[in-house]
A and B are shown apart, each in its own frame.
Chain A
Amino acid sequence: MRKNNWIVLALVLILPAMLFSVSCAKKEVASAPEVTPMAQPMEDTTKADAAAAEKARLEAERLQAEEAQRAMMAARQAFINDDIYFEFDSAALLPMAQETLSQKADYLLNNSGLSVTIEGNCDERGTAAYNLALGERRADAAKAFLVNLGVNASQITTISYGEERPVDMGHNEEAWAKNRRDHFTLN
């Protein structure tokens, strides 16, 4: 009977120790388990579990950081790529534009160190001087909206290109609608 107990004890000691030496990456792994009284096996199990948990935690953290970075890049891309659009001869902010601007405000509030330039543009119809003025009004309207949402005015500069910098060179309403826009760039 005593012999069986000792065999069992040995197995119980040796197996976890083997597991312990295989699974743990850290150098602090004990090279060989000591033959100690009955209390030790539970501690080692806990250590192994703790190590596994630690690894899982680190992995999760890494994934979370990657995700956050991806989200940040996406937010930055959206900030730069999402223009807001206007109706003909108008600098009024449409509901869709206001929504987009709210998102941009969030981004700027989260990144108060950034500075942005709002570029106001018009379609090719109408005349050059008037359109230069209209473009400025469009840029200023967006700035005022952002400032109202709490963005620091000193973060924002505005410029107007009037009808001078269309994104679509077409001569139809589709093209014109794309050109009546504010475009946002980060400095």
Chain B
Amino acid sequence: MTIQNNVLKNLLRQIFLLILLGSFASGSFADIKYFDLTNPFLRKIPMAVPVFRAMTASPEERAQVAIFSDRLQEMLDFSGYFKMLDRASFLYDPQTSGISEKDLNFANWTAVGAELLITGGLQLEGNNLVVELRLFDTFKAKLLIGKRYRGDKGEQRAIVRRFCSEVLMALTGNPGFFDSQLAFVSNGSGNKEIFLCDFDGRNIHQLTKKRSITTFPDWSMDGRYLAFTSFVNGPSQIFIHNLKNGQERHVIYKGVQISPVWSPTRFELAASLSITGDQEIYLLTGEGKMIKRLTDSRGIDVDMAWSPDGKKIAFVSNRSGRPQIYIQEIDSGRVQRLTFEGNYNTQPNWSPKGGMIAYSSMEGGEINIFVIDVDGNNPIQLTYNQGDNEAPSWSPDGSLIVFSSTREGKSRIYVMTAFGTDQRRLLTLPGEQSYPRWSPNIPQ
């Protein structure tokens, strides 16, 4: 009991210090440069996440700490920033060695190459979990974050997510994407339907059961609504689905309705409609009522993406002959062409950090993901010689891109860093998966 009180006092002291330090926030952490921001994934920081301590060493606690430490390690690994060290090499036993600063021998950690260390202590009180988690810089022998969480056993994943956000916030200045979700399309039932899951591919569930062709999901800025299109009533129509209460409405306009995208700052949608017989982009309220027409050009105008400040849209138009990407200011209507290389550039998606746009480009019968800066300079190819790679969508912190790929034959959902590294499949369902869309962080 005394040990725990000391730990607690220590922890509280650390947290208090942390809060003090935190008030000078970015200043102090920026001095300690953890990542080269031009490519933070180029040199992954070696991190050690040993198994946490079971504070009362009960069998149930021992079982829980194994799961908990694994989940935390997995989730941080997902970010791509860290190289997770193999526990087999650790000179450390969580049950006997310390978990707080004064009890740790940092030399043991730098010796195995760890630059960052996370220790944890888990206690089960009936159905309640009490978890202490600490992030250390081993070379500076310094505590960076100390947190204590309470919750019931079922909230384990929420605690892990919360701490991961803290870690990323401390090291990069951005809380990351741990509270975000993915929407995607899968046709395992025989029809294309929309599915949702957590950002890491867990907790998949089917959202629509329209038994038709249902695609193009897009998240509203608060994660409350999903817009999508479906052929269930005949020609492709836009649906607006309230994820909190399950209510749905569809939008009624003449002609084909394509690719609804939510404004990131207002309860508004951009949509491609052919009311006049020619596809143009229109601005609608979040309930589907007409606000105004945005484009005025004969030919196809479709496939929109909003800038993070809600002032511009990137879209695809074939006004110059072939599909290319353009950027238009919503208020002034000023348009500028973005892509000049390649003959078929579509599916733009604007990084939440603002400066880059990801898109897909078809060349020589293959479709690949590119990124380009918003001035149209430096298009960079991120996928090569691996089937068709389409529909890129950025994570809410702009560090990762989710996309679909046919590199294994059937179309599957993949994720990679913004620099094209660490490309890996995220999930596998019957049938084929496509059109992934990353949500903003959604407060639970």
Contact = CB atoms under 8 A, between A and B. Distances in A.
Interface of A: 89, 125-130, 132-137, 140, 159-161, 164-165
A159 B303 contact: no
B362 A126 contact: yes
B235 A130 contact: no
A126 B231 CA distance: 20
Interface string B342-381: 0010110000000000001010010100000000000000
A134 B318 CA distance: 10
Q: Quick one: which of B255, B279, B362 has the most chain A CB within 10 A?
A: B279
B344 A126 contact: yes
A129 B258 CA distance: 6
Q: Quick one: which of B235, B346, B367, B434 has the most chain A CB within 10 A?
A: B235
B213 A130 contact: no
A130 B303 contact: yes
A11 B352 CA distance: 112
B119 interface: no
B279 A136 contact: yes
B109 interface: no
Given A134-B300, A136-B279, 8 more contacts: A126-B362, A127-B360, A127-B362, A128-B391, A130-B302, A136-B256, A136-B274, A164-B192
27 contacts: A125-B365, A126-B323, A126-B344, A126-B346, A127-B303, A127-B346, A127-B360, A127-B367, A127-B391, A128-B391, A128-B434, A128-B435, A129-B216, A129-B272, A130-B302, A130-B303, A133-B274, A133-B302, A136-B255, A136-B256, A136-B274, A159-B235, A160-B235, A160-B256, A161-B213, A161-B231, A164-B192
A135 B391 CA distance: 19
B234 interface: yes
B259 interface: yes
B213 A164 contact: yes
B256 A159 contact: yes
Interface residues of B, number: 34
B322 interface: yes
Contacts of B390: 127
Contacts of B213: 161, 164-165
Contacts of A135: 256
Contacts of B391: 127-128
Nearest to B212: A164
A129 B362 contact: no
A130 B343 CA distance: 14
A165 B344 CA distance: 22
B323 A125 contact: no
- Secondary structure dominating the interface of B: strand
A84 B204 CA distance: 42
Contacts of B216: 128-129
A58 B213 CA distance: 54
Contact of A130 (B192, B346, B434, B435): B346
Contact of B323 (A89, A140, A159, A161): A89
B192 A133 contact: no
Contacts of A140: 277
Contacts of A161: 213, 231
Given A129-B346, A164-B213, A137 B235 contact: no
B300 A130 contact: yes
B105 interface: no
Contacts of B318: 89
B215 A128 contact: yes
Given A89-B322, A164-B213, A129 B259 contact: yes
B236 interface: yes
Contacts of A133: 256, 258, 272, 274, 279, 300, 302
Contacts of A128: 215-216, 391, 434-435
Contacts of A159: 234-235, 256
Contact of B256 (A89, A130, A132): A132
Contacts of B322: 89
A140 B256 CA distance: 11
Contacts of B277: 140
A129 to B, nearest CB: 4
A123 B432 CA distance: 17
A32 to B, nearest CB: 73
A154 to B, nearest CB: 14
Given A130-B316, A133-B258, A89 B344 contact: yes
A30 to B, nearest CB: 68
Nearest to A137: B300
Nearest to A165: B213
A128 B234 CA distance: 18
A128 B217 CA distance: 12
Contact of A125 (B234, B274, B316, B362): B362
A134 B300 CA distance: 7
